[in-house]
Amino acid sequence: MSNPREIVGKRIARFFQDGDLVNLGIGMPTAVANYLPEGVNIILHSENGFVGLGPTPPEGREDKDVVNAGGQPVTILPGGACFDSAMSFAIIRGGHLAATVLGALQVDEEGNLANWMVPGKLVPGMGGAMDLVAGARKVIIAMEHTAKDGSPKILKRCDLPLTASKEVDYIVTELGLMEVTAAGIVLRELAPQVTVEEILAKTEARLIIPETIGSMEL
């Protein structure tokens, strides 16, 4: 078990129950769909206007009107349905999504999330991220534990502009699974071969260490 995408994807896939309606963000979150346990089928929501998002079509079978929210060709599975953007975001804001899985630049002790801009450097716009984080019943962050330069991403306080305030429920990284609670971030599970000391060293936020910590079953 080596790459973070696989570790994180496998663990998050175990959050879901058969039939859950879920929105997966671009990048690491998308990989979650590859690791669903046997017998668990989730329905994927695509914010550009459909449910029943399916895999990439074979080359030559692309449909110009069927793309995901990143503009990549995809398919719509049997039972899928299409709608306009107001319906798409009513589904999101109205609490009809069991969960949204997103990447993060920073997350903090209060469950604040920053993932949409770096002032002066990267201003792509929030797209649907603010609605997803405010509206989904469960907000799960899928990311590498630290930034490329090794600096922590789980902080006492985010200093980048927020995507939403106090909405994050779980953070899953290649090192472990953390839950954001009213008291702070609780370390629930450690990935294989990871120690409490290692995860503490790579986290700026205060981590609450309970008496028993689970092992991340993968």
Residues forming contacts to another protein in the complex (CB under 8 A) are 46-50, 63-67, 69-71, 76, 82-86, 88-89, 92-93, 112, 123-131, 134-135, 161-166
Could you tell me the smallest distance in angstroms from the CB atom of residue 98 to another protein?
A: 18
- B/e letters for 156-182, b = 16+ CB within 10 Å, e = fewer, are eebebebbbeebbbbbbbbbbbbbbee
User: What tokens appear for 203 in the block?
Assistant: 């986290």
Nearer to another protein, 166 or 206 (CB): 166
Question: Which alpha helices (DSSP H) does 81-153 contain, by range?
Answer: 85-93, 129-135
User: What tokens appear for 175 in the block?
Assistant: 């090192």
Nearer to another protein, 123 or 209 (CB): 123
Could you tell me the smallest distance in angstroms from the CB atom of residue 200 to another protein?
A: 28
69 CB-near residues (< 8 Å, 6+ apart):
26, 46, 47, 48, 127, 128
38 is catalytic: no
Nearer to another protein, 33 or 36 (CB): 33
CA distance 205 to 183: 12
Could you tell me the smallest distance in angstroms from the CB atom of residue 130 to another protein?
A: 4
CA distance 13 to 40: 9
Nearer to another protein, 139 or 190 (CB): 139
Name the catalytic one among 38, 47, 62, 197: 47
- Give the residue numbers annotated as catalytic, written as ranges: 47
